[in-house]
Amino acid sequence: MQTSRPHPPKDQNYRHHDYDKCKAALPVGTPCGVLQLNVQHQRGHFHDAPGPSADSAGKCYRTEAATRFRTSSCVTRLSTLLSIALAAIDYGTWRRYRVKVDETKAQSATFGVQDHCSIQCFVGIFLLVNLFSDEHVDLNDIPDGWTAMVPLGNYERGELYLPDIGVCLPYRPKDVVFFHSRVLRHFSDYFKGVPRYVLVFTNNQGVFNFLSEKYDSLLSV
């Protein structure tokens, strides 16, 4: 993150209304924002082939940082453990995700190079840096699918709320939370102390739709 600093979230009107207030409350110079390591459709080009996000393969220093991050032993190990956990929670979804991850690697050479997890079931990793979110659902995620979130750092408070099921989770560093982010409203409370990171492992429904159309049509030829 020293070489690829997080940028303000693009959806401030949706998930992060108080971004400016949150950033102003942090010590001067403290990074605050998001890094999106993902394969996605470019804005306004939803019928074209998806490709790596700007944080994954944009300017050379961001590409270098993203590759070092995703291929690191820590992230590879965490991805493996999360994939094993999802297979235990919902084996059918894990198998479906595994197929799509391999199809994504065939579609995107960048993603293929950057991901070293042999049983990976998540294409996207979003890194939230010293950031909390307003109440929302993740409209680009899989409707019946799973998102995994892992908070890290040195902070207090910042609980995770799921109001639809009346749950408030402590959301402590190194906790792991799996939930249906497309259908369950969620938000995080104010936190005290920095740094605070949240790794969000997820998949994009639009990309999965594209892959299904492409590879299903190849099978029918």
| In the chain, where the domains are located | 30-42+50-220
Tally of CB atoms within 10 A around 90: 16
Find the range with the poorest average confidence among 34-48, 81-95, 96-110: 34-48
Q: Which of these CATH numbers, 3.40.30.10, 3.40.50.10190, 3.20.20.60, 3.60.130.30, describes 30-42+50-220?
A: 3.60.130.30
Q: Over range 137-141, report the average pLDDT.
A: 92
Helix axes 60-70, 73-89, angle to 10 degrees: 60
Cβ neighbours for 65, distance < 8 A, ≥ 6 positions apart: 1, 3, 4
CA distance 4 to 157: 27
Among residues of the chain, what percentage have pLDDT more than 90? 69
The residue type at 201: F
Confidence bin at 121 (pLDDT 50/70/90): very high
Radius of gyration of the chain (CA): 17
CA distance 108 to 166: 40
Between 4 and 54, the higher pLDDT residue: 54
CA distance 180 to 89: 12
CA distance 190 to 187: 10
- Of 191, 83, 203, 211, nearest to 140 (Cα)? 203
182 close to 139: Cβ distance less than 8 angstroms = yes
**pLDDT the model gives residue 142:** 94
User: Does the reported pTM lie above 0.85?
Assistant: yes
CA distance 79 to 88: 14
Between 164 and 219, the higher pLDDT residue: 164
